[in-house]
Amino acid sequence: MAQDPIIMMNHVGLIKTDHRGRMISVLKDIKLSVLSTEIHALIGPSGSGKSSILRLLNRLEEATSGDIYIEGKTIGQWQVRDLRNKIGFVFQESSLFPGTVMDNILYAPRIRGIKKSKEKSVAKEMIAMVGLEESFLDKEITRLSGGEKQRVNIARTLAAKPEIILLDEPTAALDPASTQTIEQLILNLNQEYKKTIVFVSHNMQQVKRLSHHIAVIKQGETIYQGTAEDFIEQHGEDMSFL
Amino acid sequence: MNYMESITTGQVLLALVLVCIALYLSFYFKVNLEKDILVATIRAFLQLMLIGYLLTFIFNLKSPIYTTVMIFFMAGIATYHAGKRGEAVQGSYWISGIAIYGTTIITIGILSGFGIIPYEPQMIIPVAGMVIGNVMNAASLALMRMHDELKDKQNQIEAALSLGASPRQAANPAIQKAIQISMIPVIDRAKIVGIVSLPGGMSGMILAGASPLAAVRFQVIIMYMLLGSPFLTVGIAVALGYRQYFTKFMQLKL
C-alpha cells in the first residue's frame, strides 16, 4: 500500500498586496506531496514562489485558496504552536539572533521552560548534531563564518525537536566546502535522525545529490512532481527553459 | 506689582527686534525662511494670546469641571499629533489616545490625589500641559521606532515565531529597543537638569519672583513627573501597538 503523504498541498494559491497596494498572485496552483522521512526539494527560478510555499507550511502566511494537509489534518485544524513545533523552519542566516551560539540554540527550549541545569547538555547535544565543537557555544554569532552560521541556524531549529524541517536555500550564500558540509548534514538528519526534509534550491545538481523527490515550481505553479533523475532525463540539467 | 505683571504691549513689540534680526539673517544667507519666520511669529502671538484669554477665563471660573475639560482638550490635540506622526502603525490614533489620556489621568490623579499639586486651574493646567506635551513626543517616538524595529527585524521575528514564540516573545527585542530609544532623551534630560540647562518652569518661577529654592522644590516634582509619565505612555503605546503587527494565527503582518 502506498504511504500517505505527511504534507500535501492541493491547488494552493497565495495572493499578496505589494507596497503600492496592488494585488500580486505569488502562488497560483501549487501541488505538493511529501512522504514521511524523505528529502523533498522545491526547485525553480528566483521569484517562482518556492520560499512562499515553505512559509505557508509553517503558517507564517495564509493561503488564499486550495488545501494544505499536514499528517492528514488541514492546516486550519492544527493549533499554530503545535504545527510550528512539528515543522521547523531554517531561514536564511540573517535570521540568527544577536548574542552567542548558545543563546540561539536555546531559544526554543527556553520558551518551553527548560530547566537551567539542563541547558548546557541540550546545547551540547545540538551543536554536536550539526558537527561543531562544544567551544562554539560561547562564541558570538558575529564571529562565525557563513557555513558555521548556517550550522548554528540548523541547530537552533533542531533544538525545537521538529519532525519536519523546512530549509530555505540552505547553501545559497556558502562557498563549495561549506556547501558540502551542509549537504552532508542534511543527509545525516534524514538518514540518522529520520527527519522529513523539504528544502528550496535552484541548483539541479544539488537537488539530484540530496532529494528523493522534487517539485519544480514555475511562476507559482507546480509543473513537475517526481524524481530528479526522471526530470533530468526528460529535460536535461539545464534549467534555463524555466 | 512685580515685573511679570507690568509687561506692556510696547515691550512685547520691542522684542520683535530679535525677530527682525532673524529675518535679516535669513535674507542675508538666502535661506528663504523669511515667510516661515513671519508665519511662526504671527502664529505664536495669536496662539499664545488666545490661550492667555482662555486660561484667564477658566482661572476665573475656578471650576474643576472646566479645568478637566481643558485638560482633556489638550490631551485630544496631543493624541491627534502623536497619532498622525505614528501613522505607520495601524490604529495609531486610538493607541496614542489610550496612552496619552491614560497617562494624563494617572499622573494628574497621583499629583492631585496625594496633594502634591492642588487641583486648581492655575496650578494643574500648566502642569498637565507639561505632562501632555512630554508624553505626546514619547508616544509618537515609541510607535515610530517600534514600527522601524519590527520591519528591520522581520527575519528574526519570523524565526522566533517559527520556533514557537508568542507574538509578544517574538516582538520583545523590538519593543525593548523602542522603549529604550524613546526614554533615553527623557532620562538624559533629568540627569543634566540644573547643570546644563535651567528648566523653563523653574526659570519662569524665578522670573516671577519666587525664591530659587522654592522654584527648585517645584521643579523636582515636575522632573519626577516628567520622568515617570513618558514611561507609562510608552509602555501603553507599545503594549497596544505591537499587537497590530500580528494576526490571530501568530503571523507577522507588515
pLDDT for B72 beyond 80: yes
pLDDT over threshold 60, residue A28? yes
| A111 within domain boundaries | no
Number of domains in chain B: 2
C-alpha span between A30 and A25 (Å, rounded): 12
Question: ipTM of this predicted complex?
Answer: 0.93
Contact B165 A96 (CB under 8 A): no
Residue B93: how many other CB atoms lie within 10 Å = 15
Distance from CA of A197 to the nearest CA of B (A): 16
A96: Cβ contacts below 8 Å, ≥ 6 apart: A104, A141, A149, A152, A153, A156, B156, B159
Q: Which residues on adjacent β-strands are paired with residue A7? A: A34, A70
pLDDT digits (tens, 9 = 90+) for B195-209: 777 788 888 888 888
B165 vs A contacts (CB less than 8 Å): 107, 111
Residue B1 has pLDDT above 60, yes or no: no
Contact present, B173 and B146 (Cβ < 8 Å): no
CATH for A68 = 3.40.50.300
| Residue A56: Cβ within 10 Å count | 24
> For chain A, first and last CA: distance in Å?
34
Domain boundary among B61, B76, B104: B61
The rounded mean pLDDT for chain A is 93
Nearest CA in chain B to A158: B163
- The answer to whether residue A130 sits within a structural domain is no
Using the Cβ of B163 and the Cβ atoms of chain A, whether some distance falls under 8 Å is answered with yes
Residue B161 at interface with chain A, using a CB cutoff of 8 Å: yes
* CB B220 within 8 Å of CB B116: no
B31 touches chain A (CB under 8 A): no
Chain A residues with CB-CB distance to B173 below 8 A: 97
| pLDDT score for A52 | 95
**Of all residues in chain B, what percent carry a pLDDT higher than 90?**
77
Whether residue B100 sits in one domain with residue B40? no
pLDDT digits (tens, 9 = 90+) for A175-232: 999 999 999 999 999 999 999 999 999 889 899 999 999 999 999 999 999 999 999 8
A116: how many CB neighbours lie within 10 A of its CB? 7
Nearest by CB to B164, from A61, A62, A84: name it. Answer: A84
Q: Judge contact between B37 and B23, C-beta under 8 A.
A: yes
Give the separation between CA B153 and CA B46, rounded to whole angstroms: 45
pLDDT band at A235 (very low <50, low <70, confident <90, very high): confident
Q: So what's the pLDDT on residue A173?
A: 82
Domain extent, residue B43, equals: 1-61
Interface of A with B (CB under 8 A): 58-62, 80-81, 84-85, 88-89, 91-92, 94-97, 107-108, 111-112, 156-157, 160
Domain housing A12: 5-95+144-235
Q: Work out the pLDDT band at A128, boundaries 50, 70, 90.
A: very high
Inter-chain touch B164–A81, beta carbons under 8 Å = yes
Q: What pLDDT shows up at residue A168? A: 95
Average pLDDT, chain B: 92
In this structure, the answer to whether residues B192 and B69 fall within a common structural domain is yes
Secondary structure (H, E, C), chain A: CCCCEEEEEEEEEEEEECCCCCEEEEEEEEEEEEECCCEEEEECCCCCCHHHHHHHHCCCCCCCEEEEEECCEEHHHCCHHHHHHHEEEECCHHHCCCCEHHHHHCHHHHHCCCCHHHHHHHHHHHHHHCCCCHHHHHCEHHHCCHHHHHHHHHHHHHCCCCCEEEEECCCCCCCHHHHHHHHHHHHHHHHCCCCEEEEEECCHHHHHHHCCEEEEEECCEEEEEECHHHHHHHHCCCCCCC
User: Does one domain contain both B105 and B185?
Assistant: yes
Q: Are B41 and B79 within one domain?
A: no
Contact A27, A39 (CB under 8 A): no
Mark whether B122 and B149 lie in a shared domain.
yes
Residue A138 lies in a domain: no
- Provide, as residue numbers in chain A, all residues whose Cβ is less than 8 Å from the Cβ of B164: 81, 84-85, 108, 111-112, 160
Tell me the per-residue pLDDT of A147-170, one tens digit each, with 9 for 90 and over. Answer: 999 999 999 999 999 999 999 999
* A71 within a domain of the structure (yes/no): yes
Q: Which residues contact B164 (CB under 8 A, 6 or more apart)?
A: A81, A84, A85, A108, A111, A112, A160
Number of domain units in chain A: 1
| Domain annotation covers residue B96 | yes
Q: A111 and B251: CB-CB below 8 Å?
A: no
The tens digit of pLDDT for each residue in B158-207 reads: 999 999 999 999 999 999 999 999 999 889 888 888 777 778 888 888 88
